Amino acid sequence: MPCESRAVLIVTRQMEGTATNVARQRFQLQCSLEAGHPGPHRDTAHEQEWEMVQGRPTLLLRDEEDSRPVQSTKPEP
């Protein structure tokens, strides 16, 4: 039985000449491991890992200059 943990990853970029970051991409992540697995959750399709806080949705923010590329398996709207 697969793990049901989910997260949202937002990749941001800094706007030149400002202190503002804007969202560039949004990914829905789902843990690819078996239910009850030890350690962090892992979405192998997007090569991302996260820790889940019980009862709260997980939101991950990554600056595009500071993060590894995110592999998308489907086009974003």
Q: What is the pLDDT of residues 6-49, one digit of tens each?
A: 999 998 888 888 888 888 889 999 999 999 999 999 999 988 99
Q: Which pTM was predicted?
A: 0.71
Q: 55: domain range? A: 6-63
Structural domain count of the chain: 1
Pick 74 or 11 by higher pLDDT: 11
72 within domain boundaries:
no
The least confident of 16-25, 35-44, 57-66, 67-76 is 67-76
20 within domain boundaries:
yes
Tally the C-alpha atoms within 13 A of residue 33's C-alpha that lie toward its C-beta: 15
49 within domain boundaries:
yes
CB neighbour class for 23 (10 Å; exposed up to 12, middle 13-18, buried from 19): exposed
Pairing assessment for the beta strands 58-63 and 6-14 based on DSSP bridges: parallel
22 within domain boundaries:
yes
pLDDT in the model for residue 73: 47
42 within domain boundaries:
yes
pLDDT in the model for residue 68: 57
